[in-house]
Amino acid sequence: MSTTEPTARTMSYREALREAIRDAMQADERVFLMGEDVGAYGGSFGVSRGLLDEFGPERIRDTPLSEAAFVGAGIGAAMGGMRPIVEVMTVNFSLLALDQIVNNAATIPHMSGGQVQVPLVVRMTTGAGRQLAAQHSHSLEGWYAHVPGLKVLAPATVADARWMLGPALADPNPVIVFEHGSLYNREDEIGVEDAAADITRAAIRRPGRDLTLVAYGQSVWTALEAAEALVTEGVEAEVLDLRVLRPLDTHAIVSSVTRTHRAVVVDEMWRTGSLAAEVSAVLTEQAFYELDAPVGRVCTEELPIPYAGHLEQAALPNTARVLAAAREAVGGDG
C-alpha cells in the first residue's frame, strides 16, 4: 500500500496566516481570535476573512476600538486556560496596550513563580511602504524585543507565516508576532517539508562567503535583492533572516560572520536604539577579531514616516542603500 505525499501549494502570506489560524482552531477548541474588525469585515488586512462563518462569533470575536481593553481581556483569557490570538491592527496602536503587554503579560509568569502561565499570541502589522502615514507605518519591533518575558517573532516568508503560529500557541508564555504589511500579498510555494517551523532560530535564506546581510521581515527581501545584484560584482553575500527577535539567535549571527568576516544589518527601525544596534553590539562583543570591516547598518531615516510616496521610499532601507553599505564593507578590509 503506497501513500502519496501532499504536493506543494502556492499561497499568499495572507492566506498562509489564515490557514494557520484555521488549523489551530480546528485542533484546539480553546483557541479563539479577537480584535478590531476580525469578524464580519474579515480583518483589517483580510487575514480572517471567512473565519466568522466557519467558527461563529464566540470564537471570532469583534472587539471595541480599545487596545487596552481587548489585549487585557486576552491576557485574562490566557490565564484562565484559553489560547487567545489577539490581533492588533498596527504596531502603532499597540502602544495603547503597552501596560497590558509589558507590565502584565510579560511579568505575571515570573511574579507568580511560574504558577500562572499566559499562553497568549498577539499578532500585529508593522512597517511602512504603503503610504499610510506616520501613525500607521512605524517599525517598533525592537521595543518589544527589549522586554524579558516575551518571545518576539517576525515571519518573512510564506512558510513561516503558515507554520510559526502553532508553536507560538503551544508556548506557555506570551508571543508577539510581527507581520509586515507589505508581505500580505507575497506568494510562494510551500510544502510539507516546511511544516516544522522553528521559533527559536534564525535561518540562512541565501548562503555566501564574502559578506553577511542580516535582516528580518520585509527587509529580508531587500537583502536578497541586494545579494542578487552583488553577484554581478563578484560578491557572494549570505542573507541571514533573524526570524526570532527575542531571544535573538546570537549563535547564528556570530557563526555566519565568522565565515564571511563582514556584516551589514538591514533594519526598518530607526537607527538609534535599533535591533541593528543590538546585532552590531553582539558582533563587537563576540566576533570582533573575525571582522575585516566595521559592521554596517541600513535603517530608516530618523523622522516620522512621510505620507508622500517618494519621501516614504527615500526614508526606508532600499536595495540601493544596502548595496552601498555592502560595497563599503567589502572594500573596507583592514
Nearest to 287 by CA among 262, 321, 266, 314: 262
- Whether residue 186 contacts residue 222, with contact meaning beta carbons closer than 8 Å, is answered with no
What's the total number of domains in the chain?
2
Range from 9-13, 120-124, 190-194, 255-259 carrying the lowest mean pLDDT: 190-194
Q: Does 151 lie in the same domain as 113?
A: yes
Q: Does 314 lie in the same domain as 288?
A: yes
Position 198 scores a pLDDT of 84
Q: Does 45 lie in the same domain as 150?
A: yes
Residue 293 has pLDDT above 80, yes or no: yes
- Whether residue 266 contacts residue 219, with contact meaning beta carbons closer than 8 Å, is answered with yes
Quote the domain boundaries for residue 322: 203-330
Q: Does 208 lie in the same domain as 170?
A: no
Confidence of residue 320 (pLDDT cuts 50, 70, 90): very high
Position 190 scores a pLDDT of 87
CA-to-CA distance for 327 and 24, rounded, in angstroms? 45
Average pLDDT over residues 125-145: 93
**Highest-confidence range of 191-195, 306-310, 328-332, by mean pLDDT?**
306-310
Q: Does 156 lie in the same domain as 25?
A: yes
Q: What is the mean pLDDT of the chain?
A: 94
Alpha helices in the chain, H assignment, sequence order? 13-27, 51-55, 67-79, 91-94, 98, 108-111, 141-145, 158-163, 165-170, 218-231, 250-260, 275-286, 309-315, 319-330
Alpha helices in 106-164, H assignment, sequence order? 108-111, 141-145, 158-163
Residue 22 has pLDDT above 60, yes or no: yes
Average pLDDT over residues 276-293: 97
Confidence of residue 1 (pLDDT cuts 50, 70, 90): very low
Position 24 scores a pLDDT of 97
Tell me the pLDDT tens digit for each residue of 31-51.
999 999 999 999 999 999 999
To the nearest whole percent, how much of the chain has pLDDT over 70?
96
Residue 248 lies in a domain: yes
**Domain end call among 159, 194, 229:** 194
**Residue of 67, 87, 179, 238 with catalytic role:** 67
For residue 294, what is the domain's CATH number? 3.40.50.920
For residue 159, what is the domain's CATH number? 3.40.50.970
**Residue of 136, 138, 180, 261 with catalytic role:** 136
251 is annotated as an active-site residue: no
Q: Does 167 lie in the same domain as 57?
A: yes
Q: Does 50 lie in the same domain as 171?
A: yes
